[in-house]
Structure 1
Amino acid sequence: MTRRIVTLFAAGALGLAGAAPAWAEGELNIYNWGNYTNPELIEKFEKAYDVDVTLDGYDSNETMLAKVKEGGTGYDIVVPGDYMIKIMIEQGLLAEIKPNEMENFEHMDPKWVDVWWDPGRNYSVPWQWGTTSFTVDTEVFKGDDIHTLALLFEPPEELQGRINMLNDMNDVINAGLRYLGYERCNGNVEELKEVTELLLNAKQHWRTMDYSTIEKLTSGDVDISQNWNGAAMRARAQRPTLQYAYPKEGFTGWMDNVAVLADAPNMENAKLFVNFIMAPENAALISNFARYANGIAGSEEFMDPEMLTAPEIVMPADAPAPDFVRPCPQETVDMYNKIWTRLKQ
């Protein structure tokens, strides 16, 4: 997913006769990651329920959280990552809308119901899920093995100065911890010092730290970038020599989830949208645009055929299992923040 801020104002359309109850009209305001929402999905929802949808974009979970905590945003729907759902529930920022009692909940893949960030799904439903690793141009890098984080932290000469890292504290630091063989969120001071040295030494070889990974890769600005698997697939469509890596040291797994803000001004329309995206054909619209898997059973039959075989979506049998990182203790977050501040200087 290209975490680039974009804003789409989708125009309302006339409702379909008999498609919705009388109260299904008015507005819905969505706050989602940039370049991550299929306009066809929004148009379909608008036409079905006679609702005008406004879509604004953010570039990180932390940006979204800071905005929401200010209050009075006017947003109804947000799409936090797994760990951020947990944080927002604990802070009372999300409405307990009970998706598990909605009509289309029967389509939810059972493996995504009792998740650690929202057990039983009382607050959220899946939007997309995937992995965070990196993409490299195999025409530039001639080595036999791309499946190692060494390409980011101790790059060969042909990749030096041609690397983009995500502008994301957790993704960068956790990748460094994996490369050194250390656990995430352990708060070990000596290990974090070692990670800091690794990152500072590697930074001299990084060209940029940016969420716009598709643009960076397809423009030729860089030849390797930390990346999400769906964004990697979209970039490969324009630059066929790109390949998505599954590093032996490990990589992040994540799920973005649709949730409703506790102070949503259009609560009933927000609930309608949550139920709407659990329909398999609508979940497939999301996947066909963003190029990630979703948590809705039966959506595969509505997906573009290449989604079912793409190497960025179908992991190799010998790849390590994705690492779904839980929120770190606050003292560890504080140490991460200090490392990140030094790295960004």
Structure 2
Amino acid sequence: MKWMTTTASAAIATLALAGNASAAGELNIYNWGDYTSPQLIAKFEKEFDVKVTVTDYDSNDTALAKIRAGGHGFDIVVPSANYVPIWVKQGLLLEARPDQMENFKNVDERWVDVPWDPGRHYTVPWQWGVSGIGVNTAVYKGDINTSAIFLDPPEELVGKINVEPEMNDVLFATIKYFGGDWCTTDKEVLRQVRDKLVEAKTKWLAMDYSVTEKLPTGEYDAVYYWNGAIMRSRLKNADVKFGYPKEGFPMFMDSVAIVKDAKNVENAKLFMNFIMEPENAAMISAYAKYANGIKGSEAFMPEDMKTAPELVIPAEFQDAGAFLETCEPDVQQLYTKIWTELQK
């Protein structure tokens, strides 16, 4: 394991070669809610004798603010692609050099030289997917491949809609709905976006994270949410279907990074290397139902994930999806103003 340099780490590496690695100690992970496989954590704890604590957060901005404030006690965080450059620029991440770790060879070439972390000096893939539409088709039988489901909802769905509380995903879809480009500063487009979101919110029921519980049971009849959660909902209720907004939808990759002031750095590096093992990456995906970016993990994945409509983007919608770029600070301020108004 090339990243191990200290005496203690060398001892761990020696044990690993003997097939009985033991790191001992603790690891504190700060991750999105309902996104971490308990099976994966149990396996890591057993293999390395490390006690893992997982704490949830509900948005990129929540995580960023928490770590920026200091005194957090976390070792690992899982930011989305468009936030990684912000973390790096603000000096919040350790340059852990996962590209030099033993299992980095398993990272799919598509996810190695990525714009948000060229060459992967800071992060390794966790999961990737899209934000789209989930609808109970027993309630609504019209076109679901449109952001109109949550922006101009049909009467059948009014008052039963949940929208993910993640600013950039919601603004991306709404900007595209009005024909704008991401990171736009066009005042007329942004006025339309603001007015539409404020109006549409009166027809929503919630902006929360309870989709896998409430969409299958009918408490929500429609959602704008992440594809993996909607797949989990469909597995509980076959009437739930996934739609790709034809106007445009955001794609994401969340990646594991080590916090600059982490107290358990070597254990965090062990975890980074651990999740690049195909069988372990498959555990991550099997739990949350998103793709992961690790070659060979497909062999360990549930069969239903290989052809799931929520995970395999149809050819006609391939060009509608795009990864979120990191907007300039002045643009982000404009978007934050809209988002703040929406939260009132």
TM-score (norm 2): 0.92
Structure 1 residues 342 and 72: CA distance shift in structure 2, 3 A = closer
Matched letter for residue 189 of structure 2: E
2:210 is aligned, of 212, 233, 239, to 212
- Within 2, Cα distance between the matches of 1:56 and 1:238? 26
Partners of 1:137 and 1:242 within 8 A in 2: yes
- How do residues 233-312 of structure 1 correspond to structure 2 at under 5 angstroms? 233-312=231-310
Matches within 5 A, 1:315-334: 315-321=313-319, 322-334=321-333
Post-superposition CA distance 1:43-95 (Å, at most 9, x none): 11111111111111111111111111121322111111111211111111111
Q: Give the drift of 1:200.
A: 2.1
1: CA distance, partners of 2:305 / 2:297: 11
- Aligned equivalents of 2:17, 2:102: Cα separation in 1: 20
Aligned equivalent of 1:231: 229
Give me the whole-angstrom Cα distance separating, in 2, the residues matched to 1:148 and 1:16.
Answer: 51
Offset, 1:162: 1.6
Where does residue 8 of structure 1 map in the other structure? Answer: none
Partner residue, 2:104: 105
Q: 1:100-158: per-residue Cα shift (whole Å, max 9, x none)?
A: 11110111100000111100000000000000111011111122x21111222112211
2:29 partner amino acid: I
Deviation readout 1:178-212 (Å, 9 max, x if unpaired):
11111111111121011112212222221212122
Q: Take 1:334 and 1:92, find their aligned partners in 2: how far apart are those partners?
A: 20
The residue number in structure 2 matching 1:158 is 156
Equivalent residue number for residue 170 of structure 1: 168
Query: Contact 2:21 / 2:47 at 8 angstroms: preserved in 1?
Result: no
Aligned counterparts, 1:93-172, within 5 A = 93-143=92-142, 145-172=143-170
Tell me the SS of whatever aligns to 1:226. Answer: strand
Among 196, 215, 230, the residue aligned to 1:198: 196
Where structure 1 has 5 or more consecutive residues not aligned to the other structure, the ranges are 1-14
Q: Distance in 2 between matches of 1:270 and 1:281?
A: 19
Residue of 184, 208, 217 corresponding to 1:186: 184
Work out the number of aligned pairs and report it: 329
Distance change in 2, residues 1:127/1:320 (3 Å): same
| Partner residue in 1 for 2:77 | 78
Distance in 2 (CA, whole Å) between partners of 1:229 and 1:246 is 9
Distance change >3 Å, CA 218–CA 257, structure 1 → 2: same
Change (3 A) 1:91 1:16: closer
Match of 2:312 among 298, 314, 319: 314
Q: Tell me the CA shift for residue 16 of structure 1.
A: 9.8
> What fraction of aligned residue pairs are identical, expressed as a percent?
52
Specify the alignment match of 1:6 in structure 2. none
Specify the alignment match of 2:67 in structure 1: 68
Q: Deviations over 1:199-236 (max 9, x none)?
A: 12222221212122222312311200011110011011
Contact 1:287–1:303 (Cα < 8 Å) also in 2:
yes
Mapped contact 1:137–1:223 kept (Cα < 8 A): yes
Partner SS state of residue 84, structure 1 = helix
Distance 1:50 1:142 in 2: 52
CA distance in 1, matches of 2:19, 2:49: 9
Quick check: 1:19–1:49 contact (8 Å CA) kept in 2? no
Q: Which residue of 1 aligns with 2:5?
A: none
Q: Secondary structure at the match of 1:121?
A: coil
Q: Which moved more, 1:248-257 or 1:314-323?
A: 314-323
CA RMSD, Structure 1 to Structure 2 (Å): 1.6
Instruction: Provide TM-score, normalisation by structure 1.
Output: 0.92
Shift of 1:300: 0.1
- Counterparts of 1:264 and 1:26, CA distance in 2: 13
Tell me the SS of whatever aligns to 1:73: coil
Contact 1:187 / 1:331 at 8 angstroms: preserved in 2? no
**Matched letter for residue 30 of structure 2:** Y
Specify the SS of the correspondent of 1:258: strand
In the TM superposition, residue 320 of structure 1 has moved relative to its aligned partner by 3.0
- 1:8-28 Cα offsets, whole Å, 9 max, x none, are xxxxxxx99944556x11111
Runs of 4+ in 1 over 3 A off after TM superposition: 15-22
Q: Partner amino acid for 1:52?
A: K
Q: Is the 8 A contact 2:30 2:57 kept in 1?
A: yes
Q: C-alpha displacement at 1:168, in angstroms? A: 2.1
